[in-house]
Structure 1
Amino acid sequence: MTVSPLPLANAQNLPAEAAALLARLADADPAVRRIALFELADLEDPALLPAFVAALREDPAPDVRREAAAVLAAWEDDDVVEALCAALLDADDDVRAAAAQSLSELKEPSSGHVLHRWAARPEPFVRRSVLRGLRELRFAQAFEPALHALPDASADVRIEAVAVLGWLKDARALAPLAALAAGDAHADVRRAAVGALGFALPSDPTIVDALLAALRDDAWQVREEAATTLGKLRATSASEPLIAALDDAYWQVRLRAVRALGQLRDAQAASAVAALLSHTISNLRKEAALALGELGSRDALPALQAALEDRDPDVRKAIRIAIGQIEGATQ
């Protein structure tokens, strides 16, 4: 099989090393072409971008196209982003995955306008990958496609849409996110929506009520995320439900709940938190000690002092810190 040389208008101006490698991109052996792409990428010469894009679009070997997709992660050029988006439709699963990974590594908000054009594609994998690429760009125009994707039939697409809205922190998304947190059929979507509500105001009763409902969700992962978000918001009305969550069947939920109670600074939670100092799980004992330090209640000092000989050095350190915080605050 003969492979046509890849077009490069200014090839005559390239160093000899690059020219030799470009010639290898026409080799009949796909392994040779793939290694040539890898070595060309090491030159970090933007003049080579057309060769990488052409390899991604045109090379008959999936391994070469996959390598081109990976190489292009280092470049943020409109033609590159367009080619990577097009590669999401590649016939080969590994090529599509490599293109999606490269799109997820974009950092320049200016890349958002290219991704935006692909956000409404009918293929779930394309929609998910494009939304994932938009997630960290904070590209304001991503709001509408992300909002539109919240009722998508694919849970993976809904999760990425939620992530975009969480990064944008646009208050218009709060009500739809709260509805998703309460009503989506997929636990991973509910969990993502609960986490995305972390930019709400703690005085917003609709959001706090949605988070309190999530604290009672059937899936422990959702309850865990709800406790975390309530702590971030410092929603004081959540104190009693969080105290109740200290008895959750899953220690992961209890850990997040005790951490959240420390963030709420509600001294009335001190006795419930102090009871965890004798828990069998050392991480819970440590978090309980740290939370007691934040709560600052002198009533917790006897329990902390009694636990000073804990068998875990990290727990003992947390207890000493807590005692110092409480005594320092009350002197």
Structure 2
Amino acid sequence: MGLFKSIFGGNAEPEDFRVGAVGISDQVEKALAYGDVDDRWNAIRAVGELGGPFIDPLVHALKDDFWIIRRGASDMLGRMGAPAVLPLVAILAEEDEAVRRETERALILIGDPSIEPLERALSDSNPHIRRGAIEILGLMRVPQAVPGIIRALSDEKPLVRQEAAIALRRYDEQSSVTPLIGVLRDDYGYVRMAAVETLCLLGTKSIEPLITALGEGTGEYQQRVSLALISIGYPAVDSLIGALGNENVDVRRHSANILGRIGDAKATAALIRCLDDKEKSVRGEATKALTDICDPAIPALVRAFHDGDQIVRNCAMEALWILGTRSTPPLLELLDDPNADVRRRTAILLGEIGDKNSLEALSRKLTDENPAVRREAFEGVEMIKQKCGISRPLPERTPPAEIDLGDPPAENDPPEEKNKKNLW
């Protein structure tokens, strides 16, 4: 308050400041416009005591280059209450985020007197004012503002739609879920992502509407819905397992994919049942999902490979092949199964997997009582050797028979004996 004491004298009291407020308006504006940081700070603190006549200079101070001045102006405007609301709403038109941040803070400090003007601002012609009003009402969690914020999801400006999607995450409103799912069709990625994040934060309220949406729209839209359910994660698993029996093929197909992406072993049994789905696309997604679940799914896949009908066996076989050497130990046990067809199919699969640890067991099946098993075991052994770069051992070489060349000729041998021994 040093600025005003210099004007009124060293013994001036706050009442003197209020009485002379109008007369010093020019000096205040000059201090805020041209003074150094200390002068501006002292002017802001002083006019906060004087109230109404200095709202405009304080609003202008929200644009100051220095944060401490902006923050001081925000504090003082917050204390002034209702008279400051409309000027603050108007300054929401500023694009500078630093200015908007302190303006929003002042309106939140004012509280209830801000609510009605902010609700009216939801339909303002300026998109920056609409966006700011949505953000503040959301931060204040004003319940009666929810319908207006939901309507803003259809605003012509993407930044306003994004802000509406963000604001709705601060409410626990079932009524916002379906409109937010509709935003997943938005042309702008950052708007869609805001909707996805809000749907995830709404949690269980979003799950069933999102699953229903899996059966609607284009592939790209369905992928966005899937992303929301994947992000919700484990809380969605039980509902997704139930959706595997939905009459809509897209719902079943995407549900299988999502369960694989979440990776909860709880879904294994239901996904195994999907290997018998009448739709190939669903069987394919279920197969892939089981490989995504990985090790926990292997015992169930081996049982399906052993016991299932032809379609289920083939899907399980593909999944076990994708899982590769992880599947080898339980498959080796099937090589001794009493059923010759199981042994034959197992030999084929082990050959395709190509794990060299299968060689010994497959080699034993080269003498199997069933010719089809022997044939597939042989093919499997050859495939593994080729994949692992194992060459066939060369046959053992038999040393040549020794030839008796006789004794070398001696000096005293007769000529005919020397001729016999000329082999040397």
TM-score normalised over the length of structure 2: 0.45
The aligned residue for residue 54 of structure 1 is: 56
Structure 2 alignment gaps of length 5 or more:
1-12, 19-23, 242-255, 269-288, 296-325, 327-424
- The answer on whether the counterparts of 2:28 and 2:43 sit within 8 Å (CA) in structure 1 is no
CA 69–221 in structure 1, closer or farther in 2 if over 3 Å, else same: farther
1:212 and 1:51 map into 2 onto residues whose CA distance is 61
Partner of 1:73: 74
Q: Does 1:120 align with 2:111?
A: no
| Contact 2:152/2:164 (<8 A) preserved | yes
Q: Is the 8 A contact 2:74 2:102 kept in 1?
A: yes
Residue 159 (structure 2) aligns with: 156
Aligned AA (1:156): L
Partner residue, 2:257: 241
**Which structure would you say has the larger RCO, counting Cα contacts within 8 Å and 6 or more residues apart?**
1
Most deviating of 130-139 and 203-212: 203-212
1:296-324 Cα shifts (integer Å, max 9, x gaps): xxxxxxx9xxxxxxxxxxxxxxxxxxxxx
Opposite residue 179 of structure 2, the aligned amino acid is P
- Cα distance in 2 for partners of 1:108, 1:222 equals 39
8 A contact 2:146–2:168 mirrored in 1: yes
Does the C-alpha gap of structure 1 residues 220 and 88 become closer, same or farther in structure 2, counting only changes over 3 Å?
same
Task: Return the alpha-carbon distance in structure 1 between the equivalents of residues 99 and 30 of structure 2.
Answer: 24
Structure 1 CA distance for aligned equivalents of residues 216 and 34 of structure 2: 55
Q: Aligned partners of 2:66, 2:57: CA distance in 1, in Å?
A: 6
Letter of the 1:122 partner, please give it: S
Bigger radius of gyration: 2
Flag the 1:223–1:70 CA change in 2: closer, same or farther, 3 A.
farther
Q: Given that residues 149 and 157 in structure 1 are in contact (C-alpha distance below 8 angstroms), is that contact kept between their aligned partners in structure 2?
A: yes
Matched residue of 1:25: which SS?
A: helix
Which of 191, 210, 223 is the equivalent residue of 1:207? 210
Give 5+ residue unaligned stretches, structure 1: 1-9, 16-20, 246-256, 276-302, 304-331
Tell me the distance in 2 between the aligned counterparts of 1:11 and 1:118.
Answer: 36
Q: Does 1:83 find its partner at 2:84?
A: no
2:123 match: secondary structure: coil
Give 1:127 shift.
0.9
1:101 aligns with 2:101: yes
Kindly state the Cα deviation for residue 135 of structure 1 after the two structures are TM-superposed. 1.6
8 Å CA contact 2:92, 2:103 repeated in 1: no
Counterparts of 1:1-331 in structure 2 under 5 Å?
A: 11-12=14-15, 25-27=28-30, 30-32=33-35, 35-40=38-43, 47-50=49-52, 53-57=55-59, 63=64, 70-74=71-75, 75=78, 77-89=81-93, 93-94=95-96, 97-105=97-105, 106=108, 110=112, 111-181=114-184, 183-197=185-199, 198-199=201-202, 201=204, 205-210=208-213, 217=220, 226-231=229-234, 233-238=235-240, 240-245=256-261, 257=262, 261=264, 266=266, 268=268, 272=292
Q: Classify 1:42/1:118 alpha carbon distance in 2 versus 1 (closer, same or farther; 3 Å).
A: same
Match of 1:329 in 2: none
Structure 1 residue 166 displacement after superposition: 2.5
Q: Secondary structure at the match of 1:153?
A: coil
1:99/1:114 CA distance change after superposition, 3 Å:
farther
Specify whether residues 230 and 82 from structure 1 end up closer, same or farther in structure 2 by C-alpha distance, changes over 3 A only.
farther
- Deviation by residue 1:53-79 (Cα, 9 ceiling, x = unmatched): 2214568x9648998654343326223
Aligned length: 239
CA contact (8 A) 2:123 2:130 kept: yes
Shift of 1:12: 3.0
Compared CA separation, residues 56 and 39, structure 1 to 2 (3 A): closer
Please state whether the residue corresponding to 2:87 is helix, strand or coil.
helix
**In the aligned structure 2, how far is the partner of 1:71 from the partner of 1:221?**
44
Between stretches 163-172 and 124-133, larger displacement belongs to 163-172
Identity rate of aligned residues, in percent? 19
Cα 1:56–1:223 shift into 2, 3 Å: farther
Shift of 1:140: 1.4
CA distance in 2, matches of 1:37, 1:213: 59
Stretch deviating more after TM superposition (197-206 or 218-227): 218-227
Structure 1 residues 117 and 213: alpha-carbon distance in aligned structure 2, compared to 1, 3 A threshold: same
CA spacing shift, 1:149–1:203, aligned 2, 3 Å? closer
Letter in 1 for 2:147: E
